[in-house]
Chains A and B, each alone.
Chain A
Amino acid sequence: GAGVSQSPRYKVAKRGQDVALRCDPISGHVSLFWYQQALGQGPEFLTYFQNEAQLDKSGLPSDRFFAERPEGSVSTLKIQRTQQEDSAVYLCASSLRETEAFFGQGTRLTVV
């Protein structure tokens, strides 16, 4: 596609519910990143894939967060047993190896 596509754009979850956020990167982009942006803050790194390999997951805040990219294209970020502090915008980005990252519009998650 023309850009990085994320779905859904908005998600409201009840506390304790599991959610799955989807990212479609730009076609052919090898690298894929997930960032979390809390209200009034800059994005914070969560995890990084090169093709299907998850090379860095040091930013995932807890074991309730899980990301996958099984075929090296679409990626899913899953959050289990959501809590209020998980409320944020989740940004996905992709890039052609060591070049700039192109960001999607994000998924705004609100946990109530």
Chain B
Amino acid sequence: AQSVTQPDIHITVSEGASLELRCNYSYGATPYLFWYVQSPGQGLQLLLKYFSGDTLVQGIKGFEAEFKRSQSSFNLRKPSVHWSDAAEYFCAVGPYSTLTFGKGTMLLVSP
């Protein structure tokens, strides 16, 4: 069965500092991997996705993620965090038709 682990429930980062959110997955084949962001009271917005090819994936809002098959990881990174990035972030693994989500990481941005 597929599963996703996001080990950090909350992370606080200073504005302007770099960010890395961790995601580990379990999946029997080559996975489809996604990162979504959810602001309070809003739906999920796709940040980036990995299907195949280059293991470093660029997304919207300056985010990137790296697929590491040997570590079963798909960590999300951003070089400089903005206050507007404060939200909850979800990692998900495919197939696309039945995504399994992690429990999320809440990002807090301090001034």
Which of A14-22, A61-69, A74-82, A91-99 participates in binding chain B? A91-99
Interface residues contributed by chain B, number (CB under 8 Å): 21
Contact B104 A42 (CB under 8 A): yes
Contact A103 B98 (CB under 8 A): no
Contact B103 A91 (CB under 8 A): no
Contact A41 B103 (CB under 8 A): yes
Chain A 86-112, CB-CB to B under 8 Å as 1, else 0, gives: 000001010100111111111000000
Indicate whether A31 reaches chain B with its CB closer than 8 angstroms: yes
Q: Which residues of B contact A33 (CB under 8 A)?
A: 97, 99
Contact B96 A95 (CB under 8 A): yes
Residue positions of B touching A, CB distance < 8 A: 4, 34, 36, 41-46, 49, 90, 92, 96-104
10 nearest A-B residue pairs (beta carbon): A42-B101, A103-B43, A103-B44, A105-B43, A45-B98, A43-B101, A48-B97, A42-B103, A100-B46, A104-B43
